[in-house]
Structure 1
Amino acid sequence: MPLLGPADPLPHVPRRVLVAGNAGAGKSTLCLRIARSRDLRRVELDSLYWGPRWTPRPEFAAEVAAFAQEDLWVTEYQYKDVRPVLLRRADTVVWLDHPFTTVMTRLVSRTVKRRAARVELWNGNQESPLWSVFTDPGHILRWGWKSYRRNRARVLALAGEVVVVRLRGQAQVERWLAGPLASVGEERAR
């Protein structure tokens, strides 16, 4: 399967889309924009995974397997246990391969804003206290830092299995949304 760029035409109309990228890359935002553009069901994996007090929900894998069988959806490519289920059904992966500085700047900004405003995320959860970045190995900022290279290698390996659209930087995201994604299927309708 090809590794496409922001201007390359899509070989099919995306129906089941995974958005891959590091924490802070903008996966959730892009999922929403793709869902609106292509009239796809938007499923947020974090809301299915996290129960109260940051406890994983036992029904998570079953819920993912159920929606993955549907014909039209977009979600994030994350959570090791369900990635294979999602990948088997996906027809397109959109990879937010932003530079490390972009991702970390976004992640720090988002984390600080959420914590300061005490934003409720999923099922009553809030961002961890900022000082815990020094004591909690699983803190989102540490996680984002540690997982950047691993995420890149994981997504690059998918290019042989599924169509992967690689977008580096927000300008490429905008170009792809307005170009190939907006126009796919139009030529068949004429």
Structure 2
Amino acid sequence: MNRIALIGSGGAGKSTLAMELGKILGIEVWHLDAILWKPNWVLTPREEQKQIQSQLVSKGSWIIDGNYQSTLDMRLEQADTIIFLDMPRTLCLYRVLKRRLMYHNRSRPDMQKDCKEKIDWQFLKWIWDFPKRRRPQMQHKLADLTMDKQIITLKSPKEVKRFLADIRDRL
């Protein structure tokens, strides 16, 4: 595992898992939210997003967390390991609401400095709709990947803990 793409719903735990894996494996972690959102929640233009991610995936090793559908294929093609956090939507919603309370009026560690934590109905709806709308798209993309990729689907916090323990045991 040298090039790891982490995908899944908002609130699934992508950033937390990315940071843990980075510590264990000694691989640099890149949070797409922190890179692609400029201060005050201004999204980087799509062409610039592609350039940034093209530079990231050309590195020898990386952990990148985030979905960003328009550039997902680029990361999936270059990754040797894809981890899909397929968590229950109620857990994802709970975590997003908890995160909002924890980081009220400030930016969380995996975000751009001047992007104070916020929630809107559109984001909550995206999380709620993820299992029916986004999950099938992601599963289809993963099924189409070449056999040389390691694809790991984790469906619960227990599975994530077990996965991390297994990696620690192998090192």
TM-score normalised over the length of structure 2: 0.85
Contact 2:31-2:66 at 8 Å conserved across structures: no
1:104 paired residue number:
93
User: In the alignment, residue 168 of structure 2 is paired with which amino acid?
Assistant: A
Shift of 1:52: 2.0
Shift of 1:97: 1.3
Q: Counterparts of 1:154 and 1:68 in 2: how far apart (Å)?
A: 22
* CA deviation profile, 1:62-101 (whole Å, cap 9, x unmatched): 1111010011100114111211111110011111111222
1:70 paired residue number:
59
Say yes or no: does 1:31 pair with 2:18: yes
Q: Counterparts of 1:90 and 1:113 in 2: how far apart (Å)?
A: 32
Q: Counterparts of 1:87 and 1:44 in 2: how far apart (Å)?
A: 15
- Higher-Rg structure is 1
Shift of 1:160: 4.1
Aligned residue pairs total: 162
Contact 1:28-1:76 at 8 Å conserved across structures: yes
Q: Counterparts of 2:129 and 2:155 in 1: how far apart (Å)?
A: 19
2:112 paired residue number:
122
**Secondary structure at the counterpart of residue 12 of structure 2:** coil
Contact 1:17-1:90 at 8 Å conserved across structures: yes
Gaps (5+ residues) in structure 2?
Answer: none
Contact 1:107-1:144 at 8 Å conserved across structures: no
1:22 paired residue number:
9
1:11 paired residue number:
none
2:76 paired residue number:
87
Say yes or no: does 1:176 pair with 2:163: yes
Shift of 1:25: 0.6
Contact 1:50-1:123 at 8 Å conserved across structures: no
Gaps (5+ residues) in structure 1?
Answer: 1-13
Segment drifting more, 147-156 vs 71-80: 147-156
Percent identical residues? 25
Q: Counterparts of 1:144 and 1:107 in 2: how far apart (Å)?
A: 9
Q: Counterparts of 2:33 and 2:98 in 1: how far apart (Å)?
A: 19
Contact 2:89-2:127 at 8 Å conserved across structures: no
TM-score normalised over the length of structure 1: 0.77
